[in-house]
Amino acid sequence: MENRLNTPLHDGFYMPGEFEPHEGCILIWPKRPGSWPFGARAARRAFVQVIRCIAESEKVYVAAGKSCIGDAREALKDIPGVTVFSAETDDAWARDIAPTFLVNGKGERRCVNWEFNAWGGTYNGLYPSWEKDNAFAKIFANFYGAPCYDAAPFVLEGGSIHCDGEGTVLATEACLLSHGRNPELSKEEIEGRLLEYLGAKKVLWIPRGIYGDETDEHVDNVCAFLKPGEVVLAWTDNKNDPQYELSSESLRVLEQLRDAKGRKLTVHKLPIPDVPVKVTQEDLKGYVFEPGEDVREAGERLAASYVNFYFSNGAVILPAFGGENEDSDRRAAEILHRLCPGRKVMSVFARDILLGGGNIHCITQQIPWGKGRLP
């Protein structure tokens, strides 16, 4: 069912915080040769580890195309609570192409379909054809049986927003005001669409994201709610790192903002890896890029950030990068263990996910439990 008359705000639906209880999580089995080198073998191993961690405390739904659904089922057959289903997509970024789920006070759930244009369309999109990705939200809503609001042609990716569940939306200006998304709309008009379709009351804009983030700096890589009134911000003390000025600028803004409830935000710094994670010449040998697709280069710095974690019901599923960043990995885990009492911190080696352009939060999309309905 599509509701074209009203909006979630009008109907009393809203996006809860990601730290609230989930019914499940959506992922997509990776296969795109231009994203996942060497036949996605290493990426699939990393996906399996992420899925295994999430499945400890919530259901997992994994979409896979016809050419790889057998591989997905074989790889995941020993993990209880995982449903593998058939759906064709252009790539595996469930955060950005799966529906955004909403709840209301009665425990009902609906979702939103946004327009997807590969992070910039013909202006600066990352691949030339994205029709399958753009169709996925409605496909999943139908598979799952959830009524779906259609926000198209408004362009939005799930990784470009965070919500606190109490009326506040967090986003970066660099992303949502980029020319490749909704150039015909003003900042005020974009804000209005966010409030209407997320059932929210206030948008908090921070200027920038993670240096080199090819999504035009999604918020989910730089800043996330831990709970209402409290966020983590990707950080570095290294003034020679280009991330220093980006994070400093966002910190200055965050310290001046108040949320929809009038609260000043508590900002916790979550340092990025000490050593930049880069594409190697060996990595480059494994990619197969199609004409018009954004390509990698040896030595290219990837947008590595520990903020790109996933809140499962029982844990924080945290990316780790290993090698020269083992100390950074431990530091990030210790910080989040302290900030998230009651949850395990489960670190997963995720460099093979990062080689695709995103990380653990980018490949996951939560399905919340309705208000008053606990798992």
**Contacts made by residues 116-119, CB under 8 angstroms, sequence distance 24+:** 116/155, 116/157, 117/155, 117/180, 117/181, 118/90, 119/157, 119/180, 119/214, 119/215, 119/216
In angstroms, the CA 306 to CA 310 distance is 10
CB 86 within 8 A of CB 64: yes
Mention every residue, 6+ apart, whose C-beta is less than 8 A from residue 330: none
Number of alpha helices (DSSP H) and beta strands (DSSP E) in the chain: 12, 17
Decide if 362 is catalytic.
yes
User: Which among 53, 175, 340, 362 is annotated as catalytic?
Assistant: 362
How far, in Å, are 115, 133, 191, 262 from residue 43 at the CA level? 27, 19, 35, 42
How far, in Å, are 85, 102, 114 from residue 1 at the CA level? 21, 15, 15
In angstroms, the CA 250 to CA 208 distance is 6
How far, in Å, are 222, 308, 352, 365 from residue 317 at the CA level? 16, 9, 15, 13
In angstroms, the CA 138 to CA 69 distance is 20
Please list the active-site residues: 362
